[in-house]
Structure 1
């Protein structure tokens, strides 16, 4: 994982990227989310949980992951019942910590086997993560819970794979053009976060939204990859999705980026049209909240350095208390593979 370069000159806007980003936001018909500020109450509940969990949260390093879990839940799922939002926030905090915790690789390697057997985990971090997965059925329909757990276990596997020498030494090629999406779907946990949009209490009929999950996953993956591309380019990263796909397709990265924009817009349009056919408007409203909150999260987070593109700046966002703390620091934001 490359480090961002905080260089004023290098951080200047790239006109080509600006055009691409503006097209994404404009054609998605992005609208600034307006909802109640639940961050203070959610943060208090998370802190109460963290204090008794034994999981790391007090160090500056750990606090970054705690904060992103909190902000994710506020931004993406604003109208969820409080208990569901808290559960997603805790899940995100623990998962993102695990994603970056390379010293914990040996302990993580046995996580799935212990989870399947119901055996104790070797650390408080992994023990709490296992408990969070086991408690998913409190908030989501049983079949949906299974999808969320399976998606999460795939994330654990992908995290371990990405630390293996075999993965690091891969030579990307045209003959393996399906590989970038294969690993992205597992490392980024898009399926779990798509299902999180529809808690059982508010969205009991899985038939209302199930067919839209594949396109929601495309949106979750690609919108993040697009809006991460500026800061990744500044950092000199070439192992991200856009560049890997470009190598496999023997195309220029900017051309792939433009293709991803079109695919993201098309995926969102299909989801919107699908959910508008449903008799209960709550499903369409839930998606609308998520897709707008997802964009807001990225364009207002300093980590992505998108402030250099005025067309993406959200007027008045600095006055929104809910995101004040997030904007004040260089926190890792987005889903699990956004860094």
Structure 2
């Protein structure tokens, strides 16, 4: 590694500390670090996802709002959920990811559009525009693929995410209280969609009791892996509205110290999930495929700028 990027605003000491934390995370996960941008989108899978959107009355073109997000969702589905035996489930998780990543962007650029969604959805009213209607139709389809309990949990997770995205915008200037240490993770659970992503790891015909006890740990893994691997790019951008920053304030420590603690928490959660699932071969293998693909999704995306850190080299 030839040194820190010229545009870096992080101190040299913190840069090296972040690098070591990330290296330790990958070593503990026992997942090889791949080259950034090394994953190619499966064109047939992407085409099937576009066809799904079209079947809901949404025309996918290069200029359509959700176009880029369907690509993101397709990569997530391809990497983290390609083990699912049902093609319809693979397409669904990609579209679920796509529409919620899109509405997250909407909440940041035009929060009133996102704010209108839940009221229309709960009251059974048509959404005010095609993008939001695609979100609604995608959520309704959970009941076609999953048992009622799992479908309700998936939809509830999505609604919490949309509400949480709006709340994050509305409360962005709210002063945090040091007497509310649980608040940072409360917000994170709202905006993580981890419950839905954890349930969708497993084929829909797998009995719920074979993996339900692992769900809390898988949810921590999904939420916090994302938080840890997003931290570097967010620090570069000077962002403070994220879980690591809130947790650092609540715990009275530096961001890097909070990052180290949070990384250790997700490593522990991953171990617990694997132990719970170890007795059942199908669920054990499904989670193994998910955890590797979910991590690769973040690493292979240039969005997270992890190539800057030279994680394949010794610190």
TM-score of Structure 1 vs Structure 2, range by shorter chain: 0.7 to 0.9
Q: Is the 8 A contact 1:215 1:271 kept in 2?
A: yes
Count matched residues: 299
Query: Match of 1:174, SS?
Result: coil
Residue 146 of structure 2 is aligned with which of 140, 149, 152? 140
SS at match of 1:311: coil
Q: What does 1:41-60 correspond to in 2, within 5 Å? A: 41-51=44-54, 53-54=57-58, 58-59=62-63
Aligned-CA RMSD value: 2.4
Alpha-carbon distance in structure 2 between the residues aligned to 1:124 and 1:68: 19
Q: How far apart, in 1, do the equivalents of 2:297 and 2:59 lie?
A: 25
CA distance in 1, matches of 2:122, 2:239: 36
What are the ranges of 5 or more consecutive residues in structure 1 without an aligned counterpart? 1-6, 314-339
What is aligned with 1:209?
A: 211
- 1:317 — aligned with what? none
1:130 aligns with 2:136: yes
- Give, in angstroms, the shift of residue 122 of structure 1: 1.3
Could you tell me which runs of 5 or more consecutive residues in structure 2 were left unpaired when the two chains were aligned.
none
Equivalent residues of 1:298, 1:304 under 8 A apart? yes
Cα distance between partner residues in 1 of 2:138 and 2:53: 13
Whether the 8 Å CA contact 1:300–1:307 is kept in 2: the answer is: no
Cα deviations across residues 155-207 of structure 1 (Å, max 9, x unaligned)? 1111221222xx02211132111111001111121111111111313x2x000
8 Å CA contact 2:26, 2:33 repeated in 1:
no
> What is the TM-score when the length of structure 2 is the normalising length?
0.88
Preserved contact between residue 299 and residue 312 of structure 1 (Cα < 8 Å) = no
Alignment check: 8 A CA contact 1:159 1:187 kept: yes
Distance, in Å, in 2 between the alignment partners of 1:55 and 1:248 is: 45
1:53-106 deviation digits (Å, cap 9, x = unpaired): 336652286433121111111111011121111111112111111111145533
Give the equivalent residue in structure 2 for 1:100.
105
- Relative distance call for 1:86 and 1:233 in structure 2 (3 A) is same
Q: Which of 150, 154, 157 is the matching residue for 1:151?
A: 157
Show CA shifts across 1:11-43 (max 9, x none): 49822111111110101122579xx98822211
Q: 1:55 to 1:250 in 2, by over 3 A?
A: farther
Q: 1:77 aligned to 81, 95, 106, which one?
A: 81
Partner Cα separation in structure 1 for residue 255 and residue 70 of structure 2: 33
Distance 1:37 1:191, change over 3 A: same
Output aligned runs, 1:1-339, within 5 Å: 8-11=5-8, 14-31=15-32, 39-51=42-54, 53-54=57-58, 58-59=62-63, 62-80=66-84, 81-102=86-107, 104-164=110-170, 167-201=171-205, 203=206, 205-278=207-280, 281-312=281-312
Whole-Å separation in 2 of the counterparts to 1:89 and 1:106: 25
> Do the aligned residues in 1 keep the contact of 2:58 with 2:131 (CA within 8 Å)?
yes
Normalised to the residue count of structure 1, the TM-score between the two structures is 0.82
* 1:322 counterpart residue number: none
Deviations 1:215-248 (A, max 9, x none): 1111111111111111111111122211111011
| Contact 2:33/2:312 (<8 A) preserved | no
What SS does structure 1 have at the residue aligned with 2:311? helix
Q: 1:331 — aligned with what?
A: none
